[in-house]
């Protein structure tokens, strides 16, 4: 089995981000054999939750390593054709990989064809798809394909490049084979020619890149947005191309979601990768109908869309500097900040995040160091834009409303959230127990 795009990446606290790319990729391919079909979306990210096995991360990593090794062996068995046409590139693949391409291009009724017949029929379909895909490319993808065109045969620089090239292989856009015990990748001649013929492609790529980055920034602030709402908030900030319409925005986001790890898309809208349950977020937002949405500036959206802003944004810097002073490595700090960020954004409290850090020994500090860190963490909580506050930070609301919205350390919100223990004492989450009764 190769790659099919109806599978979504699990996210990892320990990913950061390139080193664990194959972990996320392999978890998709494995179809959640470890934790079960319905639990895999954030398979890594919530390893710290009380109700999940503590050795889950090790199981995922081992499964990922096993899959990566098997996939590497299978790709090595492909032969690079002397003439790198699209048809010969497709013929170098297995029948199963050709079936994956059919599935990804939404082609049906071809399973009875012989391999040669299937490859011949796929040639025009891949070219048709390539034209559509190129119209949604962002700068990183364009540079990547230009490199393939220049160098002919390319070896991936890291696991993330391998993953991305494998995803392109699953649409027929690239070919691969084994050479000198390495997997090499190439662009079929027809795809190279198609890219070269599109003289306006650099302009399109620039426009798409702006769309993707600003949309990423919007999702950082709001967590999830339906496509129309996202477009409404995005359009006023676009500098390249005032004729952009919703279909282009959706197509770009779908492409970016399959390429990277920061945005996720479905039929309803787009979400920031760190959102645990969109339904829970929408439920909480529904209880704040009178609260106006934050209106981030273009500069704020651009900065938030730069990548890793959730652990490198200005609200996180005081915590980062303190932990650096305690001798922690950058990767450890990234994990800690991401765990806190995820806990707070998905309906937990700052205290919940601290409890998790202490319970799992992710942050070992002296009592004096904890005493110094706690007020810094409170400031972190109160200055971080939060999805459930419609993109506002708590202290921003406090200044606007003069209503004391800053959250002191250790204070828990009294309103029962969907993920809180049910007040009836059953031990279940509220959403799985009395929520429906209360809504009647």
Q: What pLDDT score does 180 carry? A: 86
Check whether 73 has a pLDDT greater than 90: no
What is the CATH T-level fold of the domain 205-301, as seen in this structure? Arc Repressor Mutant, subunit A (1.10.10)
* Rg (alpha carbons) of the chain, rounded to whole number: 24
- 151, two tokens: 């160098």
DSSP string, 293-339: PP---HHHHHHHTTSSHHHHSGGGHHHHHHHHHTT--HHHHHHHHHH
User: Cα–Cα distances in Å, from 321 out to 61, 318, 336, 358, 361?
Assistant: 30, 5, 13, 20, 20
Angle at 18 between CA 66 and CA 50, to 5 degrees: 70
Please give the biggest Cα pair distance in the chain. 72
Flag the least confident range among 24-28, 120-124, 172-176, 227-231: 24-28
User: Cα–Cα distances in Å, from 182 out to 75, 106, 160, 171, 433?
Assistant: 9, 31, 16, 22, 54
Per residue in 258-278, pLDDT (tens digit) is: 888 889 999 899 999 999 999
DSSP bridge partners of 185: 154, 176
Q: What pLDDT score does 61 carry? A: 73
Query: Could you tell me the residue ranges of all domains in the chain?
Result: 1-76, 77-198, 205-301, 309-401
Q: Which residue has the higher pLDDT, 120 or 66?
A: 120
User: Per the confidence metrics, is the pTM higher than 0.95?
Assistant: no
Asked if 77-198 and 205-301 have one fold, the answer is: yes
Q: What pLDDT score does 242 carry? A: 66
Check whether 408 has a pLDDT greater than 50: no
User: Cα–Cα distances in Å, from 59 out to 53, 114, 332, 360?
Assistant: 10, 38, 21, 18
Q: Exposed, middle or buried, 37 (CB in 10 Å: 0-12/13-18/19+)?
A: exposed
The count of other CB atoms within 10 Å of the CB of residue 148 is 21
Using CA atoms, how far apart are residues 369 and 326, in angstroms rounded to an integer? 8
**Model confidence band, residue 17 (pLDDT cutoffs 50, 70, 90):** very low
User: Cα–Cα distances in Å, from 68 out to 137, 160, 393?
Assistant: 27, 12, 41
Q: Quote the DSSP letter at residue 422.
A: P
Mean predicted confidence (pLDDT) in 333-354 = 93
Encode burial over 225-255: b for 16+ CB neighbours within 10 A, e otherwise. bebeebbebbeebbeeeeebeeebbbbbbbb
Mean predicted confidence (pLDDT) in 62-69 = 79
CATH class entry, domain 77-198: mainly alpha
Using CA atoms, how far apart are residues 4 and 97, in angstroms rounded to an integer? 10
């Amino acid at each position: 089995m190769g790659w099919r795009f109806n599978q979504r990446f699990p996210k990892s606290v320990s990913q950061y981000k390139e080193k664990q790319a194959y972990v996320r990729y392999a978890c998709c391919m494995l179809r959640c054999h470890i934790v079960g079909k319905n639990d895999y979306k954030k398979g890594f990210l919530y390893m710290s939750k009380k109700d999940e096995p503590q050795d889950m991360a090790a199981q995922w990593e081992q499964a990922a390593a096993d899959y990566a090794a098997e996939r590497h062996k299978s790709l090595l068995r492909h032969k690079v054709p002397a003439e790198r046409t699209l048809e010969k590139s497709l013929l170098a693949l297995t029948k199963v990989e050709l079936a994956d391409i059919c599935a990804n291009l939404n082609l049906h009724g071809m399973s009875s064809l012989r391999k040669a017949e299937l490859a011949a029929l796929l040639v025009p379909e891949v070219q048709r798809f390539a034209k559509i895909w190129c119209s949604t490319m962002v700068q990183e993808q364009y540079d990547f394909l230009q490199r393939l065109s220049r160098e002919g045969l390319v070896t991936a620089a890291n696991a993330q490049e391998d993953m991305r090239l494998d995803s392109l292989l699953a649409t027929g856009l690239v070919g691969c084979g084994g050479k000198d015990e390495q997997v090499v990748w190439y662009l079929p001649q027809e795809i190279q020619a198609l890219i070269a013929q599109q003289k306006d492609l650099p302009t399109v790529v620039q426009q798409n890149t702006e769309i993707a980055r600003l949309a990423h920034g919007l999702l950082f602030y709001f967590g999830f947005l339906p496509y129309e709402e996202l477009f409404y908030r995005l359009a006023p900030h676009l500098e390249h191309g005032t004729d952009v319409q919703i279909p282009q925005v959706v197509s770009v986001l779908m492409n970016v979601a399959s390429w990277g790890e920061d945005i996720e898309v479905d039929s309803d809208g787009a979400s920031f990768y760190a959102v645990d349950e969109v339904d829970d977020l929408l439920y909480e937002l529904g209880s704040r109908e009178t609260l106006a949405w934050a209106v981030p500036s273009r500069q704020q959206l651009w900065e938030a869309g730069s990548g890793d802003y959730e652990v490198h944004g200005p609200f996180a810097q005081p915590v980062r500097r303190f932990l650096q002073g305690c001798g922690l490595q950058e990767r450890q700090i990234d994990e800690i900040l991401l765990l806190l960020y995820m806990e707070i954004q998905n309906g937990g409290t700052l205290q919940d995040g601290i409890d998790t850090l202490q319970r799992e020994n992710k942050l070992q500090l002296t009592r004096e160091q904890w005493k110094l860190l706690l007020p810094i963490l409170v400031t972190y909580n109160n200055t971080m834009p939060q999805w459930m506050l419609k993109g506002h930070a708590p202290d921003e609301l406090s200044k606007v409303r003069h209503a004391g919205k800053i959250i002191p350390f250790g204070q828990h919100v009294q309103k029962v959230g969907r993920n809180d223990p049910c007040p009836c004492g059953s031990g279940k989450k509220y959403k799985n127990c009395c929520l429906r009764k209360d809504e009647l």
